[in-house]
Amino acid sequence: MRVLVVDDETELADLIATGLTRQGFAVDTAYRGDDADELLAVNDYDVVVLDRDVPGLHGDEVARRLSARGGTTRILMLTAAGSLADRVHGLELGADDYLTKPFEYPELVARVRALGRRSTTAVTPVLVRDDLLVDSNRRIATRGGRPLDLSAKELGVLEQLLRADGRVVSAEELLEKVWDMNIDPFTAAVRVTMSKLRRKLGDPDPIRTVPGAGYAL
């Protein structure tokens, strides 16, 4: 799941991003509304955690523009303005959920996960194909009932392959969904991660490489 965190409190934004990354999300950050608007226009995010009071372009306008563009990105408004009128106004702008500061971090994670499940149609948190299982909420994977000790990136790659349900997934798509915008598009990260994942999955290898196209289960 790919998330954009938008907050001009840089320390808070970075803390949220670090925490979500540890939970297995691919996270980008923006500290200004205009920067966030540019990122949202060119990247496919599942959820944006959006502070309303950001410089450059007000968070309300960021939400309004995102809603006008359509798409499936869900908006979690994160702000110190917590009155009923503020919450109603935020939801009217297109926000899908509202969380006031200060907040408890576990609640933020739970709300981001819930919104992520709503960003596409009928996305299930538990994915099964043959003897492979990934529980995206609990961040666990098994093969034939055997727990797999996967890194966050390995789990993310396996999750995307399971969601594809046999469709070929390109390295570019995996970079977009599992890594953040700071990754070098020419990196060998996908190939290296795929090699490690295959070793941990064991034999027979459930992943096939499609030359020039990508990978599939």
* Alpha carbons 136 and 117: distance in angstroms, whole number: 10
CB contact at 8 A, 53 and 89:
no
Burial profile 116-133: b = 16 or more Cβ within 10 angstroms, e = fewer:
bbebeeeeeeebebeebb
Domains of the chain: 2-118 (3.40.50.2300), 126-216 (1.10.10.10)
Nearest in space to 57 (alpha carbons), one of 34, 23, 84, 26: 34
Could you read off the pLDDT tens digit of each residue along the chain, which spans 217 residues?
889 999 999 999 999 999 898 888 889 999 999 999 999 988 889 999 999 889 999 998 999 888 878 778 999 988 776 566 666 665 667 788 888 888 888 899 989 988 887 755 445 678 889 999 998 777 889 999 999 999 989 999 999 999 888 899 998 888 888 887 767 766 788 999 999 999 999 999 999 999 989 999 9
